[in-house]
Structures are given as structure tokens and as C-alpha cells.
Structure 1
Amino acid sequence: MERGNSKHGAVLDEQMAQEVRGISQGVAGGRAEEWHTPEPSGEDQPPVSIAPNGDFGRGIPNGVGSAQGEALSRFGSFLGRNAFPGDRSALEASALAMEAPDDVLRRIRTLPEGRTFQNTAEAWHASEGGTA
């Protein structure tokens, strides 16, 4: 006796398998329907780019890629999400648990005592005025 799906026929089962094959096998674009794919730019329009001017925001002062932006990112990478909201001691405990380097621990130790920080950016700006 052959066991199988009694709700569908073999043809419908194969069709349903084809519909999810891109997801199960990881084919590029397997999750997107064809109509989700953006159309290319028209003849009188500039080309579409995920990075206008090709800079990915690197030219923005204190933005992504700047020295201060990279320092903020490094600072935040040693603070766990469970540390927030938290005071200086909670942030320090999280940083120690994540084996933060000395410069990050020094910056955390400059935070004002008794203040609760809601996120990394708030702690960053309170530590030495957000200067790197």
C-alpha cells in the first residue's frame, strides 16, 4: 500500500512542490515573485543604485564610515541588548561579560552615576560628550 497525501493528486502535489522549490533549495530570488522585481530605469531617468553617488553614506560627517561612526559602532557592539535600559553598572557588567576592550570599559566608566540609559546612542553621548 502506497502512502501519500490523500487531499491532492500527483499533478497538484508536483505543482505545489515547484512553487516552494526556490525557498527550500535556496535559489537566488526564490522568495520573490517576478512582479516584485523592480523595473530598470527609463531612458530619460538616472540609473537606479542602492548607493547614490557610490559613497554608501561614507562622506557624511559623523555618519556611517566616519571615525566617530565607527567608534560608536564598536562601543555598541560590546553592550548586550539586555543591558538596556540600565545604569552605568549594568552597562559595565554587560561589557565585561562580552569581553570588551579597555578603551570601551574606560568610556563606560565615565558615564554619570545614577542615570538610566535607554539605548547605546544615549550612553555614547553621555560618555565624555560623545567624543572619540
Structure 2
Amino acid sequence: MQRGNSKHGAVLDDQMAQEVRGIARGPAGGRAEEWHTPEPAGEDQPEVTVAPNGDFGRGIPNGVGSAQGEAFSRFGSYLGRNAFPGDRTALESSARAMTAPDDVIRRIAALPEGRTFQNAAEAWHASEGRTA
């Protein structure tokens, strides 16, 4: 069997492969020197959290995590990227293709006719105060 390497024999090739197997298949950072690893936070430093003080809305009423923010996220998840820019008909066909629930379809149907929307936020704001 041709090994393709004239400097080593088959036994030495296998031994060398075994030595680097942990590095090649190991976790991220397995190849880094110890001084590349970031140090943990000190005792006098605050705990790191995903949402400091539980403020997912970032101080914005109706922001992320609020009922209205969640409703907007749900609305936008049924509008495909290929629907924009588009009018009410394009948004409705995209939502139907993504099997949107009735409340999303009703909100889209309540959008003003003849207006082109550039993104989901623009369509959402145009539909506020209408049937949802």
C-alpha cells in the first residue's frame, strides 16, 4: 500500500496521527496557548447576564419581551423576505405561503390598498389600530 510519505513508515505515521488527534478534533480553543484564553470576571465585577435587571425591553415601552413586541415578532415571522418591498397583495400571498394564522392574515388584509411596504416594521405600524 502506497503511503505517499517517504520520510516515515506506517507505524510512525499512525503514531503521529494519534498524537494530534485531540488537537484536530478537540473543542474550540484546544489549539490556543494558555495566554490566549480570556480571564474570568473578577470578584469585584458585576455578574454578566443576558438582560441586566431583567430589562428585555431596553427601557422602551412595548419593546422586546412585551406583549406588543412579541406580537410584532410573530407578525414578521410569517412574512418572507421575498415579499418586500411589496403591497398588501404580496404580503398576503407570502403569509399564506407560510401558513400564517388567521389573526396575521386579518392584520395584513387591513393594510391600506396601493401602498408599498419596505419591511415588516413599516407594515406593522400601518396596521396598528386596525383589526388584529
| TM-score above 0.5 | yes
The answer for the alignment partner of 1:121 in structure 2 is 121
The answer for the alignment partner of 1:105 in structure 2 is 105
What's the TM-score once normalised by structure 1's chain length? 0.72
How many residue pairs match? The answer is 123
For structure 2, the 5+ residue unaligned runs are none
Tell me the distance in 2 between the aligned counterparts of 1:117 and 1:92.
12
Tell me the distance in 1 between the aligned counterparts of 2:52 and 2:71.
25
What's the TM-score once normalised by structure 2's chain length? 0.72
Q: CA deviation at 1:47?
A: 2.4
Distance 1:87 1:45, change over 3 A: same
Larger radius of gyration: 2
* 1:1-132 alignment runs, 5 A limit: 1=1, 3-4=2-3, 6=5, 10=13, 13-14=17-18, 16-22=20-26, 30-32=27-29, 33=32, 37-53=37-53, 55=54, 57=56, 60=59, 61-129=61-129
Tell me the distance in 2 between the aligned counterparts of 1:13 and 1:130.
66
Percent sequence identity is: 65
Q: CA RMSD in A?
A: 3.1
Q: CA deviation at 1:84?
A: 1.4
Is this contact kept in 1: 2:107–2:131, CA < 8 A? no
For structure 1, the 5+ residue unaligned runs are 23-29
